[in-house]
Structure 1
Amino acid sequence: MGYQALYRVWRPQRFDEIVGQKVITQTLKNALITDQTSHAYLFSGPRGTGKTSTAKILAKAVNCKNLKDGEPCNECETCIAINNGSLNDVIEIDAASNNGVEEIRNIRDKAKYAPTEADYKVYIIDEVHMLSTGAFNALLKTLEEPPAHVIFILATTEPHKIPATIISRVQRFDFKRIKANDILEQMEKILTSKNIKYDERALKVIAKSAEGGMRDALSILDQALSYSNDHVTYESALQVTGSVARDDLQNYVQYVIKGNVSEGLQVVETILDNGKDASQFIEDLIDYCQHLLLYQQDSQIISDSELGLLGDKFADIAQMIDSKLIYQYVETMNNVQQQIRYTYHPDVYLDILTVRLANQKETVKEVDNGETNKELVSLKEQIASLTDQLNNFQQHKVENVQTTDKTSENKSRSRESHDSEPKPKINLTKIFAVLGSATRKDLSEYQQHWDELMQSLTVTQRAIMHVSKPVAASHDGVVVAFDYGFLYQKAGNDQDLMDALQNGMDQIFGRVADLLFVPNDEWPAIRKEYLEKNPIKKNKQSVKNADVEEQSSSVLKAKELFGDDLVNIEDD
């Protein structure tokens, strides 16, 4: 046989060889040792984290004749046959191409028969979320009362698409993204065993680009080996991943912070000349800004997780820039990234991005070569405090005029934002369904325990969710509004965050409700549209006494849904 990809050659054959899933593998080994294996399992998690490999090892372990400490021997006839894929009693099924009712009925009928060679007949159904509703229903009865000699192992990357009736009948194991350090150690082990030279920085770039997937990391490593003739160099890792060198990123961020447009444009030109993808460059910039925010919260997080790839001036840059400006940067980058997908001239958009970022420097903390003049900072803080007091005094005297001007200005900014930023997609059908059964009691419950739910998240996840709040809720769903549009989009695309939130809800509230995200600036319009589409017969009693105002039933309904503090009554 010809050359085999690294991820196939180095596929784990024992539980101890699974990278980054220690809790799961130890639990399965203990179940095997104590003979407490279940009839059905659900392995869920991101791609390339070891779900299918673990399923095959479990299939070997339950049938191995020489099981030792919960590990298969890989030497007996059964283990060898499973490794070769020739054992008829271990059946692998791809649900993406076999998702109909007939296929599952065929499995159900054959499961009744005893295994021919092994002790257990094991069905491994990959990407099980692709099964149709009818197929799930056909599988349901077999999972509920399976034959004693059958074990089902379901694997999926999207567990939220699996019916609750299926999940309640299996043991669920959630595979996590593998840490970059663990991926790095595994790649070093592989290259050392093959006597291949490598640049440690190159492996760090690959480990970061893999986004928690061991298979992705080994595929990229394969490309890097092919690119540089069996020597993994830093340059080859940058080329195959499309990443921008840390020095270029670092210099670019420094230039735009200082408002140096000319130098920033030269960096962009160099990056594009080197064949880098414009969208990947913006993605790297957003990632860099995210780490700046995290570093400002807790520097230890970055030093542990990012493997020192952020540059020798990263700490100085974090001191130079205010967090509010970082939010502005990310908002601008996100808008340009959306626009750049539909153009054949990405260089133009990168130039525009550079100019816009360089002009957003009014909130930068001034630092001279990374050395802060403490006396100057203290003096500026005193000046700022006195200026605020003066502004407050003047504002108190001309309150009405300033209020009018501010309202006009806010409306103008709102129109500009509405015109320039793309509208995020919002599932109004699901939101209206939640509002149809929403109550103030449910909303108060979520508001009361929201901080507790946030504490159940990781620091990175809290950084995304810290500008969010529940604005409407029913027993089965909750609508969450975000102050910043880019964080709303980031949260909506983060399945790990969604799973963490639902796990926290299950622990705190004893149930898992649907989470629906909306931008805060669009929530009033959504709320109004719902009330207009769901009219309630208004109270016909006229208002005769100015001191006793009778509210219409629609107003009462609105207050019941959203609370008194969120409902403003205006006369037409």
Structure 2
Amino acid sequence: MSHIALYRAWRPQTFGDMVGQQHIIQTLQNAIREQRVSHAYLFNGPRGTGKTSAAKIMAKAINCQRGPAPEPCNECDACRGITAGTVMDVVEIDAASNRGIDEIRDIRDKVRYAPSEVRYKVYIIDEVHMLTSEAFNALLKTLEEPPGHVIFILATTEPHKLPATIISRCQRFDFRQVSLPEQTERLRLICEEEGIQAEADALAYLARLSDGGMRDAISLLEQVSAFGGERITLNDAVDVTGGLAAEQFSQLADAVRDGNAGAILPLVEGLMQAGKSPDKCLENLIYYFRDLLVIKLAPGRTATERIVDQERYRAMAEAFSADRLFRMIDILNQYMGEIRHASLPQTIFEVALMKVCTVQDSGGGSAAQASSAADAGNRTAPAGSAAAAPAEVTRLQQRIDTLERKLEELSRSGVRPAGEAASAGPDKGGRTGSGFRGANTSAGIAKTTVKLGPFLAAAESQATGQVRMRWSEILQRVKEARITVHAWLVDGEPVAAVDNTVLVAFKNTMHRETTEKPANRELIEGVLQEVFGRPVKLATVMMKEWQTADKGPAPAAEPLTLQQEEAGGEPKRPEWVEEAVKLFGEDLVVVDDN
């Protein structure tokens, strides 16, 4: 037999052919045997687990000329006609392309007529969650009081999108992912029947890639068999599916273990030249370190179907602590979310690997605490100085204790909610209680003397109008360049433009601070230059400050300023004030200088 039709040839034709759904099969067979078939069923579960196949087998079983029987004979005219799709009384509808109310009304009009060829009319609606609300309403009455000769079988991968009124009128069956041993055994049986010699490691690898879907596993087997012919090896399976070979895993893991960031770049470049996908490589690497973690924490569990040399794999697991593996997986998972939307996925992959190269053992702290300490200030001990990690944790704890004492003193004297500060008058020095509000609290961002006066005067100028007219175009270009920067910038609104500088007002402090980061600012200013054909700078301000300044002059003692990032700048405020703002936010911290 040609391998081109491998999946179609092995599609289940009886309940006994199905894999991994024994509890559902037994329930349906008992219902048929006892003639207690329901008028509506809901089959839900992951893709490729047999929902539509079970629906067709059910239609054959209840309409078999030798039945109704727990298993269809697949020999009578009814069974063969349903298999071929020529029986008009068994209708399969794809709700993704027939999702409107007109299609459902057509069904509602036809169900009143008795079947002409078989015992029951069966309507199989696949991807039923795609129906519109109006279509669900039209279907509801028919499901509630259907004729005795009609059976509805609804199939979906997303049952949470179905109205509760629909679900309550159906018998619901949850199809589960097929286990790895069951998938591997079925693939072995297929290869045996088709005369294909396949390594056990190759079949286990394909089963793991299918993510619990038997259909995907057979499709992958068909793809690999088309490449390898009558013999399938693990290397063939890895090459065809775009995965990483065991040797490539080991080389990357060795570089990460030794903290050798210099060895990462040529390895990644070699993978890219071999046609590997950066996001797929990153995904496989997460699986690799996950398996190292499983071997370390649960040695008796087999979790390394991708690797043939088990002893080398265990030796690699011994080189990492469980805490370090936890933090590395967390970091790689964060970059996994970014790489899908990145314009330079290879660079993201390289940065992710170099980042995990810097992860060191935390000296006994929990994984969560160590990860938080690393992300909060990138203050982990440098590579090669693992002994410094306990001292670093101790220093951080001392700093936290000191900060807590200062915050306690601050709460008794100087910190009040913003509403109270607004009603307070100027202090003895002539300054209002909101003297620090609106200052950027990120490290390295200092307070500059750029005044808002010129921008207030240019708020209605022609230049400002041009920026506002083309702002949607600017946002779209930023989105195309980097969608994460667009997510922050979209919170801002251009309020003025003067001297080749665009002032953007933000409602959210975090959005503003993230936009001000050097890499993000450089990207936005590059887009501005493309749009206007000349260098244009970006300046930011909080919307509250802009609106306050727009209503009237600022207090004479302290003019309103906007914040811009300066290389090497240091905050003018005391460190304990900076920490208080980081903990409570700009709007809740007011310093009263008595």
Q: Give TM class, smaller chain.
A: 0.5 to 0.7
**TM-superposition CA deviations, 1:474-502 (whole Å, max 9, x none):** xxxxxxxxxxxxxxxxxxxxxxxxxxxxx
1:36-55 to 2 correspondences below 5 Å: 36-55=36-55
Q: Distance in 2 between matches of 1:52 and 1:389?
A: 56
Residue equivalent to 1:436: none
**2: CA distance between counterparts of 1:7 and 1:284?**
26
- Partners in 1 of 2:66 and 2:280 — Cα distance? 50
| Cα deviation, residue 152, structure 1 | 0.3
- Partners in 2 of 1:282 and 1:209 — Cα distance? 14
Aligned residue number for residue 315 of structure 2:
316
1:471-482 map, 5 Å: none
Q: Which amino acid aligns with 1:322?
A: S
2 CA distance for matches of 1:403 and 1:359?
33
Shift of 1:6: 1.4
1:359 aligns with 2:358: yes
Specify every segment of 5 or more residues in structure 2 that has no aligned partner in the other structure, as ranges. 365-386, 411-440, 446-481, 489-583
Distance in 2, matches of 1:73 and 1:36, equals 20
Cα deviations by residue, 1:504-560 (Å, 9 ceiling, x for unpaired): xxxxxxxxxxxxxxxxxxxxxxxxxxxxxxxxxxxxxxxxxxxxxxxxxxxxxxxxx
| C-alpha spacing 1:424/1:241, structure 2 compared with 1 (3 Å) | farther
Kindly state the Cα deviation for residue 570 of structure 1 after the two structures are TM-superposed: 6.1
The AA in structure 2 aligned to 1:46 is P
Whole-angstrom CA distance in 2 between matches of 1:424 and 1:190: 49
Please state if 1:329 is matched with 2:331.
Answer: no
- Which amino acid is 1:179 matched to? S
SS in 2 for 1:35: coil
Is 1:178–1:213's contact at 8 Å kept on the other side of the alignment? yes
> What is the correspondence of 1:463-474 to structure 2 with a 5 Å cutoff?
none
1:335 and 1:422 in contact (8 A); partners too:
no
Pick closer, same or farther for the CA change 1:352–1:391 going to 2, 3 Å. Answer: closer
Shift of 1:180: 1.8
Give the partner amino acid of 1:360: V
Deviation at residue 16 of structure 1 after TM alignment = 0.9
* Aligned mates of 2:162, 2:148 — CA distance in 1: 24
Shift in CA distance, 2/193, structure 1 to aligned 2, threshold 3 Å:
closer
Give 1:412 deviation, angstroms: 5.6
Gaps of 5+ in 1: 366-382, 427-565
Indicate if the aligned counterparts of 1:395 and 1:402 stay in contact, CA closer than 8 A. no
Q: Which residue of 2 aligns with 1:19?
A: 19
Q: Give the match's secondary structure for 1:5.
A: helix
Given that residues 92 and 125 in structure 2 are in contact (C-alpha distance below 8 angstroms), is that contact kept between their aligned partners in structure 1?
Answer: yes
Residue 95 of structure 1: how far off its partner (Å): 0.8
- The alignment of Structure 1 onto Structure 2 pairs a total of residues equal to 406
- Are 2:289 and 1:289 equivalent residues in the alignment? yes
SS at structure 2 position matched to 1:103: helix
Instruction: Confirm or deny: 8 A CA contact 1:322 1:363 kept in the other structure.
Output: no
Change (3 A) 1:86 1:294: same
Separation of aligned partners in 1, 2:47 and 2:242: 20
1:279 is displaced (CA, Å) by: 1.1
Instruction: Give CA-to-partner distance per residue, 1:351-405, whole Å, 9 cap, x none.
Output: 333332222224389xxxxxxxxxxxxxxxxx9999799879x949x94368669
**Any conservation in 1 of the 2:3–2:226 contact (CA below 8 Å)?**
no
- Structure 1 residues 244 and 96, CA gap change in structure 2 (3 angstroms): same
Relative to structure 2, which stretch is displaced further, 196-205 or 120-129? 196-205
Could you tell me which residue of structure 1 aligns to residue 72 of structure 2?
Answer: 72
C-alpha distance 414-205 of structure 1, shift in aligned 2 (>3 A): farther
Partners of 2:212 and 2:82 lie apart in 1 by: 28
Post-superposition shift, 1:282? 0.6
Give the secondary structure class of the aligned counterpart of 2:122. strand
Query: 2 CA distance for matches of 1:30 and 1:179?
Result: 24
Conservation of the 8 A alpha-carbon contact between 2:341 and 2:483: no
Residue matched to 1:34: 34
Query: Could you say if the C-alpha distance between residues 94 and 199 of structure 1 is closer, same or farther in structure 2, counting changes exceeding 3 Å?
Result: same
Return closer, same or farther for 1:24/1:571 CA change in 2, 3 Å cut-off.
same
2:144 is matched by which residue type in structure 1?
Answer: E
Q: Tell me which amino acid in the other structure corresponds to 2:123.
A: Y
Q: Is contact 1:180-1:305 (8 Å) kept? A: no
Give per-residue Cα distances to partners, 1:154-193, cap 9 Å, x unaligned. 0011111110000000001111111122111111111111
Is the Cα contact below 8 Å between 1:265 and 1:354 reproduced in 2? no
Amino acid at match of 2:316: I
3-state SS of 2:275 partner: coil
**Distance in 1 (alpha carbons) for counterparts of 2:589 and 2:46:** 52
Structure 2 CA distance for partners of 1:206 and 1:357, relative to 1, 3 Å:
same
What residue number does 1:102 align with?
102
- Deviation of 1:121 after TM superposition, in Å, equals 0.6
Q: Give the secondary structure class of the aligned counterpart of 2:38.
A: coil
Amino acid at match of 1:314: Y
Give the 3-state SS of the residue equivalent to 1:312 in structure 2: helix
Alpha-carbon contact 2:61-2:69 (below 8 Å) kept? no
- TM-score, structure 1 as length reference: 0.63
Match of 2:311, SS? coil
Against the structure 1 CA distance between its residues 64 and 386, is the aligned structure 2 distance closer, same or farther, given a 3 Å change threshold?
Answer: closer
CA contact (8 A) 2:361 2:389 kept: no
Match of 1:213 in 2: 213
Deviation at 1:254, TM superposition (A): 2.9
Give the AA of the match of 2:83.
N
Partner of 1:231: 231
1:226: Cα distance to partner?
A: 1.5
Aligned to 1:59: 59
The Cα of 1:299 is off from its aligned counterpart by 3.5
Code of the residue aligned with 1:26 in structure 2: it is Q
**Cα distance, 1:15–1:395 mapped onto 2, change above 3 Å:** same
The residue aligned with 1:256 is 256
- The residue that corresponds to 2:544 in the other structure is none
Report the Cα distance in structure 1 between the residues aligned to 2:314 and 2:444, rounded to whole angstroms: 35
Mapped to 2, the partners of 1:288 and 1:223 lie a distance apart of 24
Cα distance in 2, alignment partners of residues 327 and 97 from structure 1: 44
